[in-house]
Structure formats: structure tokens, C-alpha cells
């Protein structure tokens, strides 16, 4: 049961939730929805048809309302480009979202607020046209979104040419600390456009919600509050994990791989406290074969136990013989229940791509990190993990851009052993407590959610 939300309260409004159909975007929005539901808010998830087909067996937690992105068979995978997908999603999504709002109204369950992923800003227009309030939900950090805001305003020019970038509320950054879409905008121009568009009509949003918490990003949150009704409501990590009471009885997202989950938890059973290295690069990032081999041999060189998530599409990059040579020490799976794994006492280090969800999950569960950022917001998150929150170290690439096995071994040892390891462990304890304080009843994030709920329905 969620903290302070055990009993379902009286009906306090109806939110239509519009996630962007990608795992890293869906998970936090669904977890936030669950918090709202426990506070008495009625929830309907606006699911595109292709997305619905993927999650229908995974979550029976919320009623789903059907919309379309124009690609009902395969979603974004069916589109010829990201640009084509986003364009069609805006056009068909706007129409079908409006129809869904009408349908809910006609059936006697009118919606009070559309909570939409900030990368789908057209949803705000649809909400307003239907006389409903709109809450933008940002699934990345406030710091990263403030960088994007400065790009949108033209204050930070892309590609960046300066060697030091000063943005209000953020430490001075070097180009290597910036999101890849800012330093290499040519790689995914459609995504850069999508990122800029987040701010197009944000001034008219009724709420601007961030999956972060006040103490984590105090300065930048204070600065952004001067622009919009910003409310940090995170981290959206379910509280039973924060309590280290592992295993919830509800599924939050696309986690439909039960047998693999059992294999992971069984393998961790009996391993000494903080003895295992957990490695995962999330749902999208990938290393090339050389980088993968360095990581593999670096793990072996530590002599430590490791649990490594290698997606099926990446498996062929593993060096030959690696699995045989390390079968005593390592378990390689194509998916794992990450929260459950990070909450397990045996995990002493997380080698991560620093996706925002993974970063928040490790930070709230006190797991030291070795950051190996690949692209998008990950370099900025890695900078904060290392220099601001002091919860880990960043594995630096060599002059050829490869993170060598020696660097990997060294970084893992730094966070798990010696003085640096002790300092990180002390900080980890602090962040675990601060996270709890934020999400517990009466904490900063909890109060922000209460405020949002109390204003859903006009008196
Ligand atoms: N995740 C998981 N099992 C895996 C890999 C990922 O449960 O094997 C979850 C993880 O806990 C996180 C999300 O998927 O909530 C990944 O989000 P993140 O922002 O870290 O990375 P992205 O996939 O968006 O790059």
C-alpha cells in the first residue's frame, strides 16, 4: 500500500492521463496515476491502439480510453520516421483525444484535467477546447528541461560552441555535460523539434509537474517556479520499494516478463550485502561491440558478482566465451524487475546509462552509480550524479570514445571500496532519507500532489 494512502478516498475529480508510449515515459506517469488514484482521483489512461495491445495483459490497474496515433498496428515502429510519427500523432491524436473527452462527458464521467506528457503539447489545446484544465508532465529532470527551455528561447544556440555554459539554477556545464540533442542536434532533428515544442504553449498550462523532488533540484526548481506553476511530485518510485519491502501485487508498466523476474531474484538470494554489480542501459541505449566487450571484461576484472541486462537485440555483441568464462560470477538476462533488483540488499553498485528513471530509482534506494551516459539527457544526469549529488562516478571514455575495461574496473572499485566508496555510501543514506521525506505524507512532493488534487474540482 502507498504511504498514507491505504484506504481509497471519496471521488475527488477525474484525470485523463496521456503518456507518450515509450517505457521510460510510461512508467513514471502510471506510477503518478496510482498515487492520484489512492488520493481519490478517478483515472482514465488515454492509450493509443498499438500501445494498448502491448500493455493490455500487463496492467488492469486503470480503465483505458482508446485514442489513435494513426499507426494502429505498430505505433512508432510502423512510421517511416520519427518526424512522420509525431506529425501523424498530433493530427490523429488531437482528433481522437477530443472524441474521448466527449465520450467520457456524455457517459456521465466528465474529465476535470488532462495530464499529458510534455512532449505532446497539442493535448493542452484539446483540453482547453473542451473546457478542461491541462497539466504538463515532464518525465526528465528540471535541470535538463531548463537547458531545453534555454534552447527553445534561443539563449543556448545549438549546436553549442561555448566551452562553458551558464544556465540559471544549474552548475556551470561543459559541452560533454549537455544532452546530446543540444550538442549534436543533427542526429535526430525531429526529436530536437519535439523537445523545443514542449514549451510552445506551456505558459497556458494550469500545472507543470516534474518527476523530481524539491531537495534534489532546489535551485533550478526555484528558478523555474518564477515562470510557471511548477510542482515537483516525485520521485514516482512506489513507496514499498523505498521501504525495501519488495514485491508489489500490481504491475505498473510494461513489465510482463515474470519468469525472468523470478530468475533474477532467485539468483540474488543469499549473496552478501552490497556485493553485486547491477548493469543496465535501459530500454533504448546501446553500446557498440567494442564498448560492450570492454564492459564485459571490465566486469570480469573486478572479480565481483554481476547481474547484467542485455536486451535480446544486443546479445550478439557480447564477446565469445564471456558467458562461459563468467558463469560462476554473472547472470545475464534480457530484462529484469529493476526496482526489485535495486531494492535488494545484495546490490552494491549500478552501472547505468543514467536514464532519468534509473537515476531516480538508484538515488531513492541508495545504490551508488557508475555513470556511462550514451545520449539524450543522460550526460547531464551523470554530471549531477557525480558532482552535485555525489552518488557515484562517471566512467570517462578514452580519446577514441571508448570506455576501457580498466576504467570500468577502476570506477566500480571506487564506488564499492575505499574512501570514495565510503563517502558515496554516506551520501546515499542522506538521499534515501530525503526521498522518503519528500514522498511521505506531508512531504514536499506529497503536499504538491494534495494541492493538485484539491484544485481539480471547483468548489
Ligand atoms: N527497466 C526495468 N527492467 C529492465 C530495464 C529497465 O524495469 O530490465 C525500467 C527501469 O526500472 C526504468 C525504466 O525501465 O523505470 C527505464 O527508464 P530510464 O529513464 O532509466 O531509461 P530509458 O529506457 O528511458 O532510456
CATH number of the domain that residue 109 is part of: 3.40.50.2000
Q: Count of domains in the chain?
A: 2
Residue to mutate, 358, 369, 373, 375, ligand 1, most ligand atoms under 8 Å from C-beta: 358
pLDDT band at 458 (very low <50, low <70, confident <90, very high): confident
387 and 448 share one domain = no
- d(Cα 68, Cα 72) in Å, to the nearest integer? 7
What mean pLDDT do residues 111-123 have? 98
Q: 214-246 burial string, b = 16+ CB within 10 Å, else e?
A: bbbbeebbebbeeebebbbbbbbbbbbbbeeeb
Confirm whether 7 is domain-assigned: no
Does residue 448 contact residue 234 with C-beta atoms inside 8 Å?
Answer: no
- Residue 24's pLDDT is 84
Q: Flag the least confident range among 28-32, 102-106, 132-136, 250-254.
A: 250-254
Atom of ligand 1 nearest to the CA of 27: 15
25 is catalytic: yes
Q: Which of the following is catalytic: 14, 69, 117, 344? A: 117
pTM score: 0.93
Take atom 9 of ligand 1 and give the residue whose Cα is closest: 338
| Residue identifier of the C-alpha nearest atom 24 of ligand 1 | 24
* pLDDT digit string, tens, across residues 200-252: 999 999 999 999 999 999 999 999 999 999 999 999 987 666 665 333 434 44
Average pLDDT for 129-148: 98
Q: Is the pLDDT of residue 156 over 70?
A: yes
Domain with 121 in it: 14-253+438-456
What residues flank ligand 1, with Cβ below 6 Å? 23-24, 27, 255, 280, 282-285, 309, 335-339, 355-358, 361
The mean per-residue pLDDT over the stretch 16-20 comes to 96
Write the Ramachandran bin of 112: left for phi over 0, alpha for psi from -120 to 50, otherwise beta: alpha
Has 117 been annotated as catalytic?
Answer: yes
My answer on whether 371 and 422 are in the same domain is yes
Task: Look at residue 259 in the predicted model and tell me its pLDDT.
Answer: 67
DSSP string, 88-103: HHHHHHHHHHHHHHHH
Residue 104's φ and ψ, nearest 5 degrees, are -65, -40
Domain identity same for 267 and 231: no
Percentage with pLDDT > 90 across the chain = 82
Residue 130 near residue 104 (C-beta atoms within 8 A): no
Q: Does a structural domain hold residue 2? A: no
Q: Whose CA is nearest to atom 13 of ligand 1?
A: 24
Q: How high is the pLDDT of residue 57?
A: 58
Q: Is the pLDDT of residue 257 over 90?
A: no
Å from CA of 203 to ligand 1 middle: 30
Local structure of residue 301 (DSSP, 8 states): H
Distance from the alpha carbon of residue 338 to the mean position of ligand 1, in angstroms: 7
Dihedral angle, C-alpha 177, 419, 217, 448, nearest 10 °: 140
Looking at the domain assignment, is residue 1 inside a domain? no
Atom of ligand 1 minimally distant from the CA of 28: 15
C-alpha 226 – ligand 1 centre gap (Å): 32
Of the chain, the end-to-end C-alpha distance in Å amounts to 29
pLDDT at residue 146 greater than cutoff 50: yes
Confidence tier at 255 by pLDDT (50, 70, 90): very low
Q: Are residues 446 and 422 in the same domain?
A: no
Rounded to an integer, the average pLDDT of 135-160 is 96
From the CB of residue 109, how many other CB atoms can be counted at a distance below 10 Å? 14
Atom of ligand 1 nearest to the CA of 282: 23
How far, in Å, CA of 287 to CA of 294, rounded?
10
Q: Are residues 444 and 429 in the same domain?
A: no
Average confidence (pLDDT) over 99-123 = 98
Answer for the pair 16, 27: CB distance below 8 angstroms, yes or no.
no
Q: Is 172 exposed, middle or buried (0-12, 13-18, 19+ CB in 10 A)?
A: exposed
Tell me: do 20 and 107 sit in the same domain: yes
Asked if residue 145 belongs to a domain, the reply is yes
pLDDT of 43-76, one tens digit each? 999 999 988 777 665 566 789 999 999 999 999 9
Verify that 163 and 37 share a domain, yes or no. yes
**Does the pLDDT value for residue 254 go beyond 70?**
no
Cα(155) to centroid(ligand 1), Å: 32
Backbone angles phi, psi at 140, to 5 degrees: -115, 175
> How high is the pLDDT of residue 4?
41
- Here the ipTM equals 0.99
Does residue 106 lie in a domain region?
Answer: yes
Amino acid at each position: 500500500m502507498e504511504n498514507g494512502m491505504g484506504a481509497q478516498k471519496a471521488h475527488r475529480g477525474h484525470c485523463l492521463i496521456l503518456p507518450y508510449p515509450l517505457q521510460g515515459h510510461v512508467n513514471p506517469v502510471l506510477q503518478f496515476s496510482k498515487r492520484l488514484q489512492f488520493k481519490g482521483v478517478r483515472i482514465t489512461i488515454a492509450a493509443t491502439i498499438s500501445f494498448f495491445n502491448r500493455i493490455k495483459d500487463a496492467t488492469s490497474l486503470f480503465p483505458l480510453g482508446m485514442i489513435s496515433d494513426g499507426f494502429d498496428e505498430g505505433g512508432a515502429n510502423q512510421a517511416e520516421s520519427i518526424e512522420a510519427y509525431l506529425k501523424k500523432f498530433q493530427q490523429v491524436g488531437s482528433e481522437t483525444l477530443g472524441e474521448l473527452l466527449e465520450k467520457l462527458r456524455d457517459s456521465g464521467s466528465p474529465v476535470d484535467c488532462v495530464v499529458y506528457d510534455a512532449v505532446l503539447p497539442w493535448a493542452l489545446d484539446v483540453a482547453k477546447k473542451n473546457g478542461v484544465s491541462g497539466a504538463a508532465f515532464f518525465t526528465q529532470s528540471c535541470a535538463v528541461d531548463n537547458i531545453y527551455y534555454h534552447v527553445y528561447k534561443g539563449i543556448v544556440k545549438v549546436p553549442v560552441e561555448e566551452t562553458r555554459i551558464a544556465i540559471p539554477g544549474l552548475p556551470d556545464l561543459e559541452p560533454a555535460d549537455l544532452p546530446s540533442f543540444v550538442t549534436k542536434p543533427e542526429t535526430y532533428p525531429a526529436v530536437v523539434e519535439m523537445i523545443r515544442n514542449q514549451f510552445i504553449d506551456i505558459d497556458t498550462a494550469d500545472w507543470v509537474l516534474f518527476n523530481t523532488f524539491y531537495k534534489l533540484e532546489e535551485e533550478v526548481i526555484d528558478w523555474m517556479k518564477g515562470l510557471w506553476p511548477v510542482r515537483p511530485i516525485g520521485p514516482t518510485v512506489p513507496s514499498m520499494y523505498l521501504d525495501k519491502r519488495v514485491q508489489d501485487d500490481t504491475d505498473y508498466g510494461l513489465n510482463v516478463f515474470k519468469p525472468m523476474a523470478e530468475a533474477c531474484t532467485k539468483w540474488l538470494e543469499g549473496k552478501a550485502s552490497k556485493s553485486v554489480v547491477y548493469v543496465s542501459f535501459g530500454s533504448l541505449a546501446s553500446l557498440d561491440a567494442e564498448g560492450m566487450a570492454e564492459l564485459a571484461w571490465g566486469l570480469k576484472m573486478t572479480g565481483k558478482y554481476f547481474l547484467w541486462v542485455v536486451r535480446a537485440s544486443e546479445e550478439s555483441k557480447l564477446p565469445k566465451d564471456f558467458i562461459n568464462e563468467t558463469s560462476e560470477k554473472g547472470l545475464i538476462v534480457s530484462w529484469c524487475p529493476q526496482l526489485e533488483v535495486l531494492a535488494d540488499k545484495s546490490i552494491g553498485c549500478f552501472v547505468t546509462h543514467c536514464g532519468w528513471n534509473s537515476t531516480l530509482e538508484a538515488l531513492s534506494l541508495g545504490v551508488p552509480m557508475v555513470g556511462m551516459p550514451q545520449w539524450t539527457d543522460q550526460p547531464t544526469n551523470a554530471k549531477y550524479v557525480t558532482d552535485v549529488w555525489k552518488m557515484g562516478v562517471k566512467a570517462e571514455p578514452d580519446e577514441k570514445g571508448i570506455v576501457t575495461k580498466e576504467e570500468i574496473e577502476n570506477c566500480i572499485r571506487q564506488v564499492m571500496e575505499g574512501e570514495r566508496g565510503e563517502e558515496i555510501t554516506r551520501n546515499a543514506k542522506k538521499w534515501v532519507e530525503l526521498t522518503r521525506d519528500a514522498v511521505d505524507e506531508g512531504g514536499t512532493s506529497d503536499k504538491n500532489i494534495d494541492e493538485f488534487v484539491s484544485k481539480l474540482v471547483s468548489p
